[in-house]
């Protein structure tokens, strides 16, 4: 009898939890990192401050190679290529502000709604240099990658003061639950020894694991987390060894399979809430350094960005009813800033059909991360316009100390700038071999852009030692 009561209570708790959208584990990731590597939270914050100070001014389109690792225990979890492609399409729409619902952004926020000029493409070359679809599929014995049992979950709920008759779980309580459960391992899916699969080189690829993050306590799978992401850590001027090597083996994004892709036919309890592929948009936002717009706290806490108004709470749905965007538009949790909450922002927890924008400063920050700690993603072929195919060049050495030798196949404009957009050199190179003297550059990281001045350009990161 007691077990039955516990089951009912837990179901009540989890059923309500599952009605909440975008319950993402970014704060759990930080807690988990801090527990394993004391001081990491401070390094993450320093990285954020670095990106705030170096908000990008560049305008090239950056392209990020993606590998999607599908882990499946049953046929539903083995999502089709079509669903995976729909997710890549959603990322491209949302990060380019080409989303079909962009017209739903309220007028008051239109001046700051921005195109991030970041695109995503399934990798076509694997780490060994072989052609690939950019998708890996691995059958696993793991029924779920969140391993919880009923008794310990209930004990954690009580310990963390969750009112199980009216369960509204705050992020602090979720952290507490996590801690009380002994900090269950979030990263089980990232190793083949625990039923998952190892990432591809996390400096060069955005790894996205898609797997089951539901808990099954009552005979029914209920989503526990919809996703989580590792934040960028590190700035170009940090000494080597500041960041533990083994963190790299966990870097990337994880998304619950029911929340992946647009109109995923297996979305179950997430229908109408998290069915537009925006869990991945939100998590990739974290991966590129963004924080929640409510600053994970009250009106005194902030995301550090001026163009996302203060918010004292997130905008997640607390009931099983799906709210209208109009009703969410009434939300104004911090009256003193004279602005409503930006429930349109992908970094809120609002229902996905009401989300439709990133802000200018969020874009500047994500691009600063791509030009700094995440620049490895852009190293192979950093960026560009529609026709980049025929601008061929070689550049060596890199890192360099004095002279760089650049060979191009056509007359090319060379531009060298600092990471925050200050242009240091602009000259025309002839087709063939060119020697460029850089004695006057201080040691550091620079961006070098080669362009034929019409429609082809390539950007590379350059390090002076
Ligand atoms: Zn989040």
What distance in Å separates the CA atoms of residue 253 and residue 287, rounded to the nearest whole number?
7
What lies within 8 Å, CB to CB, of 18 at 6+ separation is 222, 223, 269, 270
Distance in angstroms (rounded) separating the CA atoms of residues 24 and 3 = 29
How many other CB atoms are found less than 10 A from the CB of residue 398?
14
Tell me, in angstroms, the distance from the centre of ligand 1 to residue 280's CA. 10
**Structural domain spans, the chain:** 2-371, 384-464
Which of 31, 93, 283, 344 is catalytic? The answer is 283
Would you mind telling me the total number of residues written for the chain in this entry? 465
Residue 204 CA to ligand 1 center (angstroms) comes to: 23
Ligand 1 centre distance from Cα of residue 389 (Å): 37
How far is ligand 1, taken at its centre, from the CA of residue 278, in Å? Answer: 11
Which residues fall within 8 angstroms of residue 366, CB to CB, at 6 or more apart?
116, 118, 285, 288, 289, 290, 358
Taking the whole predicted model, whether its pTM rises above 0.85 is answered as no
Query: Do 2-371 and 384-464 show the same overall fold?
Result: no
Report CA(22)–ligand 1 centroid distance (Å): 7
Tokens 């590379």, residue located:
460
CATH of domain 384-464: 2.60.40.3080
From the CA of 407, how far away is ligand 1's center (Å)? 44
pLDDT digit string (tens) for the chain, length 465 residues: 333 333 434 444 454 444 443 478 888 888 888 888 899 999 999 999 999 999 988 888 999 999 999 999 999 999 999 999 999 999 999 999 999 999 999 999 999 999 999 999 999 999 998 999 999 999 999 999 987 766 777 788 788 887 766 556 677 777 787 778 776 788 999 999 999 999 999 999 999 999 999 887 667 778 888 999 999 998 877 888 888 878 889 999 999 999 999 999 999 888 888 899 999 999 999 999 999 999 988 899 889 999 999 998 888 877 767 889 998 899 888 988 889 999 999 999 999 999 999 999 999 999 999 999 999 999 754 433 334 456 777 888 877 888 888 888 887 878 787 655 567 787 888 888 888 888 888 877 677 777 766 555 666 667 777
Under a CB-based contact definition with an 8 Å cutoff, are residues 236 and 372 in contact? yes
Give the distance (Å) from ligand 1 centre to CA of residue 395.
Answer: 39
The alpha carbon of 84 and the centre of ligand 1 are apart by a number of angstroms equal to: 21
How far apart (Å, rounded) are the C-alpha atoms in residues 291 and 295?
Answer: 7
121 vs 107: CA distance, rounded Å: 32
Kindly give the distance from the C-alpha atom of residue 231 to the centroid of ligand 1, in angstroms, as a whole number: 11
- Measured in Å, residue 399 CA sits from the centre of ligand 1 at 36
53 in active site: no
* DSSP track, 253-317: EEEEGGGSSBT-TT-GGGTTTS-BSHHHHHHHHHHTT---TTTTSSTT---S-TTS---SS----
Fold of 2-371: Collagenase (Catalytic Domain) (3.40.390)
């Amino acid at each position: 009898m007691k077990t039955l009561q516990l089951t009912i209570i837990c179901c009540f708790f989890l059923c309500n939890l599952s009605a909440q959208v975008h319950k993402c584990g970014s704060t759990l990731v930080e807690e988990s990192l801090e527990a394993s590597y004391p001081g990491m939270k401070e390094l993450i914050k320093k990285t954020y401050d670095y990106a705030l100070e170096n908000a990008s001014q560049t305008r090239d389109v950056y392209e990020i190679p993606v590998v999607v690792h599908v882990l499946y225990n049953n046929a539903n979890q083995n999502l089709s290529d079509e669903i995976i492609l729909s997710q890549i399409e959603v990322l491209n729409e949302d990060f380019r502000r080409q989303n079909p619902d962009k017209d739903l952004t309220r007028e008051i926020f239109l001046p700051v709604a921005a195109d991030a000029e970041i695109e995503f493409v399934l990798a076509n070359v694997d780490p060994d240099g072989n052609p690939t679809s950019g998708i890996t599929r691995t059958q696993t014995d793991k029924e779920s990658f969140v391993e919880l049992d009923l008794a310990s979950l209930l004990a954690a709920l009580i310990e963390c003061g969750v009112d199980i008759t009216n369960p509204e779980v705050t992020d602090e309580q979720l952290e507490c639950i996590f801690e009380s459960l002994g900090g269950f391992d979030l990263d089980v899916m990232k190793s083949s020894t625990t039923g998952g699969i190892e990432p591809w080189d996390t400096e060069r690829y955005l790894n996205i694991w898609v797997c089951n993050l539901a808990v099954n306590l009552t005979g029914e799978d209920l989503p526990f987390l919809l996703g989580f992401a590792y934040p960028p850590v590190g700035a170009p001027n940090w000494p080597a060894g500041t960041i533990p090597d083994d963190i790299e083996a966990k870097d990337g994004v994880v998304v619950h399979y029911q929340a992946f892709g647009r109109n995923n036919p297996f979305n179950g309890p997430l229908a109408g809430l998290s069915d537009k592929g925006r869990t991945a948009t939100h998590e990739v936002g974290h991966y590129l350094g963004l924080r929640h717009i409510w600053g994970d706290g009250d009106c005194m806490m902030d995301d550090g960005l001026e163009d996302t108004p203060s918010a004292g709470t997130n905008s997640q749905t607390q009931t099983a009813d799906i709210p209208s965007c109009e009703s969410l538009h009434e939300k104004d949790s911090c009256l003193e800033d004279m602005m409503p909450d930006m429930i349109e922002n992908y970094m809120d927890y609002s229902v996905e059909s009401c989300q439709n924008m990133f802000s200018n400063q969020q874009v500047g920050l994500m691009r600063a991360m791509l030009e700094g700690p995440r620049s490895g993603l852009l190293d192979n072929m950093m960026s560009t316009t529609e026709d980049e195919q025929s601008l061929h060049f070689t550049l060596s050495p890199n890192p360099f100390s004095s002279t760089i030798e650049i060979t191009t196949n056509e007359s090319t404009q060379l531009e060298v700038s600092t990471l925050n957009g200050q242009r240091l050199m602009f000259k025309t190179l002839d087709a063939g071999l060119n020697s460029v003297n850089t004695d006057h550059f201080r040691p550091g990281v620079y961006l070098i852009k080669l362009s034929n001045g019409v429609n082809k350009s390539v950007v590379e990161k350059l390090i002076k030692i």
